[in-house]
Amino acid sequence: MVIEVKMPKLGLTMVEGRIVEWLKKVGDRVEVDEIIATIETEKLVGDVKAPASGFLARILYEEGSKARVNEVIALIAENEEELGKILSGTPVAPAPTVIEEKIEKARVPEVTQVKPAGKVRATPAARKLAEELGVSLDEVWRYFPDKEIISQEDVKAYVEKIRTAPPKVAEAGLTVLEERPLSPMRLRIAENLLKSAREMVLTTITMEVNVDKLEELRNSLPKDKRPSITAFLVKALANALREHREFNASLEENKLRIYKDINVGVAVALEGGLIVPVIKNADVKSVTQISAELEELARKAREGTLSLEEVTGSTITVSNLGMYGVDVFTPVIYPGHVAILGVGRIYEKVVAEPPRGITIKKYFVLSLTFDHRVTDGAQAAVFLKKIREYIENPYQLITIS
């Protein structure tokens, strides 16, 4: 019997995955539930487990190639006799048609997968190099139209041609420095932004917040136990949501679904995109706990080791661009939420102080984007004001659980 190994679905939004590494080679013995490969999506790195014990008989998608969810990526032979038949090309029973088709594809030398007519075919090494360099295989094909299969050397030669060729001129007379395809992560972000803009009535209000007391509180704590500014923001937002549950919700089929759990997603910038790990039940956690979780989640995000559990289930999002020197911006709501909180940089300004004095105080600006279909500006302003009250009176955040 031949067993299919399929591309697993790591998340609700996953469409395809890329094979990062095969941990077994053809002919190796595998046990049921043994990890035989690692894969990655635009958000996560995950494992492919053997669905049954046997011998790895075919690898249908090489390292660096992509396959859609539930696509057959390898075959496992139940015993050595069947393994020998598959390796020799002898039909095995009961082998479904889809398996025979995949075996035929695997016989093409070095090709990761046979593309439909008119599409570029390339070796795994060529695809990997092209992805690393941000090179379009379609463009490489135009330089080598007689090539049946694009090789790694063809990609290298194409890159050299670009470096030494005269500048390309676009239709409007502009010189094109380079063209690069969007990464899977960037494409997913683009889809989410388009969905948000298309389906929601996005409205943003801003509010200036004094942070003198917040900084005073932070500076009074030992350095090794000092929570981050973002941790205080998450806690302030979570506490405010207890009193304004309509912002901890989603709008589905003209019904506002209000959630009991307050799970705050925190946007983390990565090279080429961003990811949103989640602080679960933030309203019942201390600022110190939140800060420690944020630090750990950010580390995992940069290393690409976040689990599915750590990036799903958020009910609202915080996006802090203050560390980049941004004053005010318009954050875009993540699909499935009704609001997002944006945070700008801390700055100083001169403030009049009775009776006739002046003083210097520190502020930042909070930007609340909300779905106007769900609520109005007045309610959003009251909610944002409540967040400001918590930040300007930060001792409440460490005494109220």
Residues 312 and 355 in one domain: yes
The reply to whether 328 falls in a domain is: yes
Kindly report the CATH number assigned to the domain that includes residue 63: 2.40.50.100
Same structural domain for residues 167 and 293?
no
Say if 117 falls within a structural domain.
no
Burial of 253 (0-12, 13-18, 19+ CB in 10 A): exposed
Domain of 55, in residue numbers: 2-107
Query: Is the confidence at residue 280, as pLDDT, over 50?
Result: yes
At 146 the pLDDT is 65
**Range scoring the smallest mean pLDDT among 19-28, 37-46, 83-92, 370-379:** 83-92
Q: Is residue 112 part of a domain?
A: no
Q: Which of 47, 212, 244, 372 is catalytic?
A: 372
User: What is the chain's mean pLDDT, rounded?
Assistant: 83
139 plus 31 within the same structural domain: no
- Please list the residues that pair with 299 across neighbouring strands: none
> Is 96 within the bounds of a domain?
yes
Same domain as 202, residue 284 = yes
Is residue 346 scored above 90 in pLDDT? yes
Reference 56, options 79, 38, 90; nearest CA is: 79
Cα Rg of the chain, angstroms: 27
What does the alpha-carbon distance between residue 112 and residue 201 come to, in Å, rounded to a whole number?
44
Q: Are residues 288 and 216 in the same domain?
A: yes
231 backbone φψ class: left, alpha, beta (φ>0; ψ -120 to 50): alpha
The answer to whether residues 24 and 94 belong to one domain is yes
Q: Is residue 114 part of a domain?
A: no
Predicted pLDDT of residue 136? 79
Report the share of the chain in percent with pLDDT over 70.
84
Q: Final residue of a domain: which of 107, 141, 163?
A: 107
pLDDT at 216 over 50: yes
Residues 144 and 277 in one domain: no
Task: Say yes or no: 151 and 197 in one domain.
Answer: no
Closest by Cα among 91, 37, 33 to 60 = 37
Identify whether 152 is part of a domain: yes
Angstrom distance (rounded) from CA 26 to CA 48:
15
Residue type (1 letter), 76? I
Domain boundary among 47, 81, 107: 107
Whether 376 is catalytic is yes
Least confident of 182-191, 208-217, 271-280: 182-191
DSSP of 134-185: T--HHHHHHH-TT-SSB-HHHHHHHHHHHHHSPPEE-TTSPEE----PPPHH
**Residue at token pair 């609202």:** 316
**Residue 214: its pLDDT value, please?**
96
Same domain membership, residue 159 and residue 66: no
pLDDT tens digits, 44-100: 778 899 999 999 998 998 888 888 888 899 999 988 888 888 887 655 544 443 444
Q: Which of 363, 366, 384 is nearest to 329 (CA)?
A: 366
Look at residue 44 and tell me if it is in a domain.
yes
Asked if residue 207 and residue 166 are part of one domain, the reply reads no
Last residue of a domain, one of 77, 107, 137: 107
Question: Which one of 33, 261, 327, 376 is the catalytic residue?
Answer: 376
Cα Dmax for the chain: 95
Q: What is the mean pLDDT of residues 104-117?
A: 37
> How confident is the model over 10-22, as pLDDT tens digits?
765 677 888 988 9
Structure tokens at 361: 């105080």
What is the phi-psi region of residue 336: left when phi exceeds 0, alpha when psi lies from -120 to 50, beta otherwise?
left
For 18, other C-beta atoms within 10 Å of its C-beta total 21
Decide if 118 is inside a domain. no
For residue 332, the model assigns a pLDDT of 92
pLDDT of residue 102 exceeding 60: no
Counting Cα atoms < 13 Å in the Cβ hemisphere of 15 gives 6
Based on the domain organization, do 21 and 129 belong to the same domain? no
Residue pLDDT, tens place only, 282-309: 999 999 999 999 999 999 888 888 888 8
CB 332 within 8 A of CB 369: yes
The encoded tokens of residue 63 equal: 């390292």
Q: Which CATH number covers residue 366? A: 3.30.559.10
62 and 24 co-located in one domain: yes
Number of domains observed in the structure of the chain: 3
Model pTM greater than 0.75?
Answer: no
